[in-house]
Amino acid sequence: MITIRKFKRADTKTVATLVAKTYEEFCSNEGNPKAVDRYINYFNTKTSSRLQELEGRFANAEIIYVALNNEKIVGMVRGGRHRVSNLFVDGQHHRQGIGTRLMKIFEAAAKQKGSEHINIRASMYANKFYQKLGYKKTTGQRIFHGLKIQPLKKILI
């Protein structure tokens, strides 16, 4: 059974590992190799200083939730009232509605904080997923820090 709850500091290492692993598995062909490695290594928690930095970034996020399957973290969403920074679901749990549930909770939290819209720099892999949730392209594909992205926006009603 999938449950969703707010992020706890103790989740940092598991969440960071999930992000790096999932990005590498599904998006590693979406940019120049240096940029892809930089993104994946950003979430590397092998040093205590890096773990502490990520812990602070995650804990200070305006909105951040995790999805659990029997107490194991299998998904996460993070961002601010106007932007999703990260949405990742473990590959073994794709197409089970977890990403959709995380986004619905994120959108509700953003609305509660006064947002009327949410922007996303979607990976090419996730682009269609977001469009199914009502996000619209704002421009064509872009290169952002060496990574291919599709800017999207959703007006919250």
As a CATH number, domain 2-155 is 3.40.630.30
pTM of the shown model? 0.94
Neighbours of 60 (CB within 10 A): 8
Q: What confidence category does residue 50 fall into, taking pLDDT thresholds of 50, 70 and 90?
A: confident
Residue 131 has pLDDT above 90, yes or no: yes
Band of pLDDT at residue 71, cut at 50, 70 and 90: very high
How much is the pLDDT for 148?
A: 95
pLDDT tens for residues 13-27? 999 999 999 999 999
Quickly list DSSP for the chain: -EEEEE--GGGHHHHHHHHHHHHHHHHTTSB-HHHHHHHHHHT--SSHHHHHHHHHHHHT-SEEEEEEETTEEEEEEEEETTEEEEEEE-GGGTTSSHHHHHHHHHHHHHHHTT-SEEEEEE-TTTHHHHHHTT-EESSS-EEETTEEEEEEEEE--
What Cα–Cα distance (Å) separates residue 114 from each residue in 40, 60, 118, 134?
32, 18, 11, 19
Residue 127 pLDDT greater than 90, yes or no: yes
What is the mean pLDDT of the segment spanning 106-111? Answer: 97
pLDDT at residue 48 in the model: 85
What does the pLDDT average to over 111-121? 97
Q: How confident is the model at residue 49 (pLDDT cuts 50, 70, 90)?
A: confident
Give pLDDT, residue 47.
83
Question: What backbone phi and psi angles, to 5 degrees, belong to 88?
Answer: -140, 140
Please provide the average confidence, as pLDDT, over all residues in the chain: 95
Domain boundaries, the chain: 2-155
pLDDT at position 74: 98
